[in-house]
């Protein structure tokens, strides 16, 4: 007689990072208690892990899409919550299973597939496991490192070389190249250039005095690539990179679609250490001149307070700094990017409990200008309970004390779908 052993069933063992999958278990006794674990290895000593405990139904099954856990790292019904509720842990009896299964965790670069281990535990014993691989790029996408024409970036295109709508991606204050967003966008039917503008190789070391001509050069380069469809270009900017994206959409008519993620339509000063110097540099320039910003005059007392917060790890210096700079409504108005001059459409995405700055308020200043002049279908999506790190769905949701991890995860899922719909609607004509 065949024994029906407990087993894990996963709808797709090789999936894209932004693709939801179905996880379930079967072969248990009715009402039998089981615990799912999800583990990802970071290095030899550190892991990310989540867990959720359930009781099987009358058929001996547990379907994560259908049930809220009795206990675990999340509370409500959410079939993908094991992914976003992961937390850092050190090596323990559960994480040891990752090493014992001889999973080849590929850490060659940030676009390497993510290997994750799903465990099924019953009566303090692991009875089944499955390995999941999550991919940043679909099989048909190729990546080319760009170091030419004064540009530093990564170019993602289809291996068939057919022209697709073009999108440029710029990151935030972390500097470097935002390859992950670019790779996923390319996997959804676009040709994408992830462009660095500071913090890498021969580029400026700090986010200050960044010339908008960088984007202008990239647009020319982009239009000359056979993989890029003729017509308008999209641009996607995250955090401080949103300012670069929005200024570019205002200045360069080739940009027909702009996405600002956790961004600001008010242009701030360059990022320099909090200092007693009397003036602050601009973040952005065009034709050798600073673009308007908050603010040339350094509020020295505020800078000292923020420096103390940073040094003593007491409070939030970033939110304090940006809130302090944006108190004067006249200065905010003068530093607001003139989005009424945009030649295309706009999608803004903000969380109401943004830890870095008041993204909802700062974005709305420009959004009001845009929609007061152009009665198009531009949107400003504002997510209650979500913080600064809205982004790619089904990754670990990193939230502040004021934020809500589940709200952040849901905002990432919904806003990513909106981003894809927006670019397809505007650019795929």
pLDDT at 403: 60
**Three-state secondary structure string covering the chain:** CCCCCCEEEECCCEEECCCCCCEEEECCCCCCEEEEEEEEECCCCEEEEEEEEEECCCCCCEECCCCCCCEECCCCCCCCHHHHCCEEEECCCCCHHHHHCCCCCCCCCCCCCEEEEEEEEECCEEEEEEEEEEECCCCCEEEEEEEECCEEEEEEEECCCCCECEEEEECCCCCCCCHHHHHHHHHCCCEEEEECCCCCCCCCCCCCCEECHHHHHHHHHHHCCCCECCCCEEEEEECHHHHHHHHHHHHCCCEEEEEEECCCCECEECCCCCCCCCECCECEEECCEECCCECCECCHHHHHHHHHHHHHCCCCHHHHHHHHHCCCHHHHHHHECCHHHCCCEEEEEEECCCCCCCHHHHHHHHHHHHHHHCCCCCEEEEECCCCCCCCCCCCCCCCCCCCCHHHHHHHHHHHHHHHHHHHHHHHCC
Record: fold of 7-135: Immunoglobulin-like (2.60.40)
Write down the pTM of the prediction.
0.95
pLDDT at 191: 98
Contact call for residues 276 and 304 (beta carbons, < 8 A): yes
What token pair was written down for 37?
């674990």
141-427 maps to which CATH number?
3.40.50.1820
pLDDT at 107: 64
Q: Where in the chain is the domain with CATH 2.60.40.2240?
A: 7-135
Contact call for residues 363 and 265 (beta carbons, < 8 A): yes
Contact call for residues 231 and 253 (beta carbons, < 8 A): no
Q: Where in the chain is the domain with CATH 3.40.50.1820?
A: 141-427
pLDDT at 429: 75
Question: What is the tens place of the pLDDT at every residue in 202-261?
Answer: 899 999 999 999 999 999 999 999 999 998 999 999 999 999 999 999 999 999 999 999
pLDDT at 54: 98
pLDDT at 1: 41
Spans of the chain, pLDDT less than 70 = 1-3, 104-108, 400-403
């Amino acid at each position: 007689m065949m024994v029906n052993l407990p087993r894990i069933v996963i709808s797709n063992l090789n999936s894209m990072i932004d693709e939801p999958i179905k996880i379930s278990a079967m072969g248990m006794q009715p009402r039998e208690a089981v615990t799912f674990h999800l583990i990802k290895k970071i290095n030899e000593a550190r892991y990310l892990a989540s867990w959720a405990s359930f009781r099987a139904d009358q058929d001996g099954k547990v379907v994560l899409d259908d049930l809220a856990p009795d206990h675990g790292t999340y509370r409500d019904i959410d079939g993908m919550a094991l992914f976003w509720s992961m937390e850092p842990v050190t090596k323990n009896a559960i994480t040891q299973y990752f090493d014992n299964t001889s999973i080849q965790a590929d850490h060659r670069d940030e676009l390497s597939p993510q290997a994750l281990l799903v465990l099924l535990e019953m009566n303090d014993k692991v009875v089944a496991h499955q390995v999941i691989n999550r991919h940043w790029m679909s099989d048909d996408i190729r990546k080319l490192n760009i170091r030419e024409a004064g540009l530093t970036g990564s170019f993602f295109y289809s291996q068939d070389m057919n022209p697709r709508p073009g999108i440029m991606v710029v990151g935030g204050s972390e500097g470097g190249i935002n390859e992950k967003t670019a790779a996923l966008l390319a996997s959804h039917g676009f040709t994408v250039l992830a462009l660095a503008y500071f913090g890498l190789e021969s580029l400026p070391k700090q986010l200050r005095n960044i010339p908008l001509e960088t984007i202008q050069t990239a647009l020319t380069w982009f239009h000359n690539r056979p993989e890029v469809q003729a017509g308008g270009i999209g641009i996607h900017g995250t955090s401080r990179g949103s300012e670069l994206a929005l200024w570019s959409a205002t200045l360069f008519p080739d940009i027909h679609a702009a996405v600002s993620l956790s961004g600001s339509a008010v242009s701030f000063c360059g990022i320099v250490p909090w200092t007693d110097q009397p003036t602050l540099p601009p973040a952005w320039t065009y034709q050798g001149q600073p673009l308007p910003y908050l603010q040339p005059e350094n509020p020295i007392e505020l800078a000292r307070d923020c420096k103390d917060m940073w040094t003593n790890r007491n409070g939030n210096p970033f939110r304090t700094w940006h809130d302090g700079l944006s108190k004067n409504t006249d200065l905010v108005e003068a530093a607001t990017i003139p989005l009424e001059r945009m030649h295309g459409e706009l999608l803004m995405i903000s969380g109401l409990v943004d830890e870095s700055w008041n993204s909802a308020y700062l974005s709305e200043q420009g959004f009001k200008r845009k929609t007061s002049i152009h009665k198009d279908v531009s949107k400003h999506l504002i997510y209650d309970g979500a913080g600064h790190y809205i982004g790619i769905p089904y990754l670990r949701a990193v939230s502040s004390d004021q934020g809500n991890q589940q709200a952040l995860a849901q905002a990432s899922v919904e806003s990513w779908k909106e981003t894809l719909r927006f670019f397809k609607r505007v650019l795929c004509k």
